[in-house]
Structure 1
Amino acid sequence: MASISFADIQAAHHRIQHKIKRTPLLESTLLNRWLGQRIIFKADCLQTVGAFKIRGATNFVACLKEQGNLPDHIVANSSGNHAQAVACAAKEFGIPATIFAAKTISEVKAAATRSYGAELKLFETRKEADIAVAEAAREPGTVWIPPYNHADIIAGQGTCALEAIEDAGHADAIFAPCGGGGLLSGSFITARELLPNAKVIGSEPLLANDAARSIQSGQIETLMETPDTLADGAATPCLGDLTFPYIQQLDEFYEVNEQQIAYWTQWLQHLLKLHVEPTCAMSMAAVVSWALSAPPGQTAIVLITGGNISQQSMLKIWQTDYLLQPPNITEQE
């Protein structure tokens, strides 16, 4: 099993820094006052392709170029931000790309994927798409870029926390959502090197709680069906054999219900004036729980991982307007 070091993340940062954006840190004075803590948001929703995923995909292809192994064709399977990221990275290096996805892919992400020049092949189910991409990857000169379970992907994703910590200077806790665990793994490695005393805290949808179940059982658990959650970026079926050991070492891990996900998506969009995906807004449920139990005046970094939301998702998020009254923080535990 490949191991990923902080040196790998530093190398990824130097490799991709001129190909991606260094996204800003933001905060809300009002939210800080409500929580009694300083909450710093790393706005990777402003990243190229609107999500952190471009970091791992770009690092993966850039590593191939360094090794003199650029392929003739790139394939990937994704119904989310990884699809756009691979399409964009392939275009950057002048390589044709084909993305395999289920027909449930959001229209906005499908359109963005095609806009970067990738061919998008759609299937009735995610399982069919996964089978098709595995077959395509056997073709000579073809490389399959996985969404999270690869050392170069994890190292690339770790650059998000690296930038955030460098720019913030200090933090007592770092929060990120968990899908397949690539971002959280990279963040954990980075935090343990730069801020060894900081807590690294993850969260996932209660309706897609394979990671929480895996932590409890001590082995990788797999979702049997595609979960129906607003946090579609965290709806992966299982962790990877590379990411699971890092997820097991997290300081805390939260399962978040759909009401909390919608609630904090609305409030973060309102407080930060950003288009924020439910997957990253989900972290706020964990932030609130931490803020209530931590000594006052501490600092947390929250990774805002994406800003690509379809019309259908927006309608679900705003079925109930949660902005009519200020948050009752004690009810968010």
Structure 2
Amino acid sequence: MNGVKPMCCWATPPGGGPRDEPNFVTTHPGLSVAQTMRRIHRVMDDVESIYTVLITDGARRLVGVVSLRELMGADDEQLVGELASEPYTATANEPVAVAARRTIDTRVMVMPVLDLEERVVGVLTIDDAIRLIDLEEEERSARGAGTEPLRRPYLTTPIRSLVKSRLVWLLVLGIGATLTVQVLSSFEETLESMVVLSLFIPLVVGIGGNTGNQAATTVTRALAVGDIRVADLGRVLLREVRVGGILGLCLGSLALLIASLVFDLQVAVTIGITLVALCTIAAAVGGIMPIIGKLLRVDPAVFSNPFISTFVDAAGLVVYFSVAMSVVQNFGGM
């Protein structure tokens, strides 16, 4: 699941094959409560849920829903159309994850799935929704760590499947890591003349990568629960620039203070300025990459942690050495 797969028709639980008969109960607004209860008794062994009954007209268009509790408490001769209530619904072409989360958030036992003409084509039960969200979280967690979900118990997964799930990502990340090597080679003379800079490379790339991953994880989660949309890209970018800038000021000030006690002032200034700039860039990139992934109809998790870490590593070194060269030119050699 990538979070944007069409709903299609959930007349069966996810992973099951198609059925000849629907697994939900329907009735007609002109039928009585007694007639509807007899319908439920006839199909109760074949349907997944009897607790919510869909009320449809002759063209299968949804009129409303009624709960089993309401039917049991009503007079046998009362028409079910009089008991109909407005339901929460999903459309057949909307993302599966969106409908599943709405089912959970609204706490409905059954959410009808409608086509463009508002005809019932299936249902999404609360159990289906929970399984879908669990599967989505499993995939996001795996891809965020640079691997593919196993879709089966670990100890029963063949070794070749484990290797395959990780090898492609390692190759992709290895190719991306050549950016870092290229950056280091470009600043080789600078590094040779200022050997002390090499001591802080793990600090710089580590903080940059963590900042980007934090932003990506936060935004990916917000996308999943519907807090933000693709149209909010500009707002997210501005927000993450502010957050990254504040984080950079905090970390940069602390680094400036500590480094000035151990090294000379120029080294401390280089580290401080680098962290301010890098945290701002990393948070901005980490914040917008999941949205770009959503825009391109790619799982945001694929666009997040592994690729962001690689990008920020290279960008962090460029910023670091550029700041160092600027400090040297303005304040003399280190």
With the shorter chain as reference, the TM-score category is under 0.3
Per the normalisation by structure 1, the TM-score is 0.24
Per the normalisation by structure 2, the TM-score is 0.24
**Structure 1 or 2: more helix by fraction:** 2
**Structure 1 or 2: more strand by fraction:** 1
Larger relative contact order, structure 1 or 2 (CA cutoff 8 Å, min sep 6): 1
